[in-house]
Chains A and B, each alone.
Chain A
Amino acid sequence: AQSVTQLDSQVPVFEEAPVELRCNYSSSVSVYLFWYVQYPNQGLQLLLKYLSGSTLVESINGFEAEFNKSQTSFHLRKPSVHISDTAEYFCAVSESSSNTGKLIFGQGTTLQVKP
């Protein structure tokens, strides 16, 4: 069985500062990894995902995440955050050989960007 741990429940940061949201996972099989973002009172949107290939994946709005198999981590980073990045961020995994698409989510990290 897989599990996901997001190490920080809240991350306050000033605008234009760098940020890292940490995610560790546990699995005995190969996994796909995802970061989803949830803006207030909205559904989840995919930010980026790792399926295979390059371990560094990027989103269109400046976020990136690196898959580190030895440390079983998939931390999310952004070099300079904006007020509009304030949201809840969820890390998730799914078993790559599964035929169900079942996503296992972490507890979420609230990113609070202050002016």
Chain B
Amino acid sequence: DTAVSQTPKYLVTQMGNDKSIKCEQNLGHDTMYWYKQDSKKFLKIMFSYNNKELIINETVPNRFSPKSPDKAHLNLHINSLELGDSAVYFCASSWTVEETQYFGPGTRLLVL
């Protein structure tokens, strides 16, 4: 009965590859987010969707493309992976933009 789940948990890949990270929440929340945590543990928001509509798109390279097929899912596709993309990516969700955000366990991406 995991609230916010992400797959895969670990992802090791070569530079130049394309990969996707999936996120699902079973809390019935309307808003979902993607955050990136770098090697110094600094967290920065990347994207946010509310009812499948994009509401935050930070200065993220356009190699990153979020996709929300329905309210419960927000997937992150990354094209042409670079070394600097290595990080932990966290998905989160909340009822509304004012409410507490619930985080998934994270996906540890390592680009070689």
Contact = CB atoms under 8 A, between A and B. Distances in A.
Contacts of B99: 101
Interface of A is mostly: loop
Nearest to A107: B42
User: What's the interface size class on A, roughly?
Assistant: 20 to 34
Contacts, number: 57
Interface residues of B, number: 26
Contact of B94 (A42, A101, A104): A101
A43 B105 contact: yes
Interface of B: 4, 31, 33, 40-45, 48, 55-56, 90, 92, 94, 96-106
8 contacts: A43-B103, A100-B55, A100-B56, A101-B96, A101-B97, A102-B56, A105-B42, A105-B44
